[in-house]
Amino acid sequence: MILLDPLNVLIVLVILGVLAVIAYKTHIVTKSGLVAAYFLGLAIWLLTSWTWFLIVLIFFAVTAQFTHYKYKIKRQHGAAQEKGGARDWSHVLANGGLPLSIIIIGFLTIVLFGQMNAFGRLEVGLGPLIIPAPLVIAVSFAAFLGAVATATADTLATEIGLLNPSPPRLITKPWKVVPPGTSGGVSLAGELATLMGTLLIGGIAALLAAPFWINFFGISLMPEITGFAPVTMIIVAMVGGVVGCAVDSILGATIQGMWSCDVCGKQTEKKHHCGEPAIYLRGNRFLDNHMVNIVSCLMGAFVAIALYLFLFGIGFA
């Protein structure tokens, strides 16, 4: 965790300010998205370290680039991100809120229940359970990776899948062809993008935690992470992200709220389309795309935790 002395805080504030301005000027975020991303990044950095923040930053930077990639073609499909591809506060929180929540839960668990044992090691007492603090941090990081990998995979699958040469198919009915951008639609390009996104997040984490930083430079970039091998980070991120992304597609194809645009006739997950209120078709009215994103990221986090604990239990972590 970063030391909260004035100089460190000032450095963080300046770096985040520069990044926020760049994001706004390059149309990655709107004004509300800028504010949300700034405080989200600030909380993540101060509660963990710059490495955790970097993983989230890479997610936002990479997905933003693919959101803008061939934007005119996506707009012709009627599935391009609104506001020229810029993300507002709701998008930022839907994708970054859960990773931050995981961090806060892990942080408070150690602060509120942590205690030193007779050997001078920090432990967390949860009722009858006594858990080493490093294991709590490792589990929190696994959940963090699962959530970020899911968000990355889902966004890339959507943005790259829109450019697939052939129309997507509904995940719950693979024989049914659906228009590009349909919730629950999957394609070869989208599935490859899912794997690419999860590998990206797992790979960055593994690179930051790799032992060669100590072997060659005498420093550890992630000293707070122990008992979590770099290869395990890749596995946990990929499995958690793929499962989370699949859950997102299944929810989108079944119970997510869907509307019909009275202007262009397109089925959409948005309550407003083409500047006009859309007509409700099916699904849960309150389960919009943001809620589906949160639920799928939560599932990705749970799967990542379960897989990490399994690998830890068999001595592979």
Dist. CA 264–CA 247, nearest whole Å = 29
Dist. CA 144–CA 32, nearest whole Å = 24
At residue 2, the pLDDT reads: 46
Percent of the chain with pLDDT over 90: 66
Q: What is the mean pLDDT of residues 278-300?
A: 88
DSSP line for 143-202: HHHHHHHHHHHHHHHHHHHTT-SS--EETTEEEEE--TT-TTEE-HHHHHHHHHHHHHHH
**Average pLDDT in the chain:** 90
At residue 40, the pLDDT reads: 97
Contact (CB, 8 A) for 63 and 49: no
Contacts of 6 (CB under 8 A, 6+ apart): none
Select the more confidently predicted residue: 268 or 19: 19
At residue 84, the pLDDT reads: 66
Q: What is the mean pLDDT of residues 71-87?
A: 73
Q: What is the mean pLDDT of residues 282-292?
A: 85
Q: What is the mean pLDDT of residues 74-95?
A: 78
Token look-up 């994708």 returns 95
* Nearest in space to 141 (alpha carbons), one of 210, 188, 50, 205: 205
Q: What is the mean pLDDT of residues 190-212?
A: 97
Instruction: Identify the weakest region by mean pLDDT among 68-72, 91-95, 167-171, 289-293.
Output: 68-72
Q: What is the mean pLDDT of residues 282-306?
A: 92
Q: Is the pLDDT of residue 223 over 60?
A: yes
Reading the block at residue 295, the tokens are 């639920």
The strand pair at 122-126 and 114-116 is best described as: antiparallel
At residue 311, the pLDDT reads: 96
